[in-house]
Structure 1
């Protein structure tokens, strides 16, 4: 028996009653060609949007100028999340529209009623014939362009959906991100406007917030550092932490701006008392005692950044912090 005959036989044996039949548009007719164009364009746009999603997600510089995502309120990075949402949402919407158009305009329609029954091997054979008949009726085998575009769209949308899972597979702890910052040997200390600092730029008793001279350094929450120039009387009282006696430079010291209690910015400095205050929970640190906590809930000292000068006489870091910045991710004893 032919596939069509098996299809009809299976329908009769399955107790299927066809109430109404509406054939598909005749092959090669103007109606069919117009419908094929609509569906093809819709699926093509869905595939292109899914590919655009991958371009944005991967941060490819060949498509968007200077495309490297950083935490910023301007530039392309400010549109990173909206672009991801727009491209993925648009692709999925067009897939739905394309499927609806395909079913409505290119497939034959029939209304049938079927009694429920248990399956058998004969049912599987006739069901296979029905499915193959449906594929033949869909016109995909002879609509090569539409089939190719459908494959492109399916591949693009599939990869678009799978791509974000890479963030779950990738090990987030590679490179010890919780224990390191972007400070490194030779990295200059710069103000938020990017200007470097030399000894003598600050008056004794003053504090300057500095950042690493790396791309996006002024937006990195763990990199903010306080460069403090001690007064002569403070220098006389200064007792660095053991093993960190050479971390300062002359009368300059640099400490993390991130409170070791809850991560708030400790930007209040009382030079008369040599205390740095955290405005969130009132922790206080003594800069003449290695930024040791002397009041409040903070349990350990602010990490000190070892500093020196480069060949041009500007302040640079001699290494990263040797202690984790902020409240950290394990309990530590009071230091």
Structure 2
């Protein structure tokens, strides 16, 4: 094939395609009808108002349902109201900003040629002018109601974070409470049996089949002032595997019974409940951040952000076959903290 033919067959991109330019601009209804523009402004103000009311509602709910009383209903309602207030507050601001940009701000397309990242002084001055033009184009100066709604919504939105944070500054930060749980024994000095939750029925070793996982709590845990806190610390998973695959150091030989092992259900990463069990690998998984622990090897971490194994609860069986805790966990439960010691 000749060289001349090659040049004809392979034209340059610049010769093959013409710049189509910008399409014809179609004005919006609000661009031509002042009443439509005013209606859009009212809609934006309404969305900001939703954000304002949601934030205030979340804060009111935080004080109306104090979680310090350790009431399950209060905890549930406080979480629900505060979450809705925070979610709707942020959603209202976002939706208002989008609607504002689409209905009230300039929608003409503009083309800017590529240039070096650092322009000359004239270019930088022009950039500042463009920013000022953008502020003017938003129309916020001539729309005081819109400006007030925006300012109020932005000012109140952070309160959904700040109020609960400030409210917890006076909370009990005595982390030594994590060193001991209700598994240490009953008030009369007797053993603490393993029981189902919420039926509070004692469990026998024969009730747990191989390859199954059971969620348990201390039997007859007294419903006193700190009941929910003590229950949260003492939740346990009990799993039965083939005793021959358990990797137990000498000091833990008596902590399991016929392949039944018990570990804290509180993840050592950020305290989420470890609730998923994979029978083939004998791994338990925390659904929050996928920390994975090997039940056959002292619940050591095999994957994920957790840094420590799950604390083990030493268990035994009485003469009637019921499972009970020999003693408390071998170490503090839950995430690591600054005063923690093994």
TM-score, normalisation: structure 1: 0.47
Greater fraction of residues in helix: 2
Which structure: larger Rg? 1
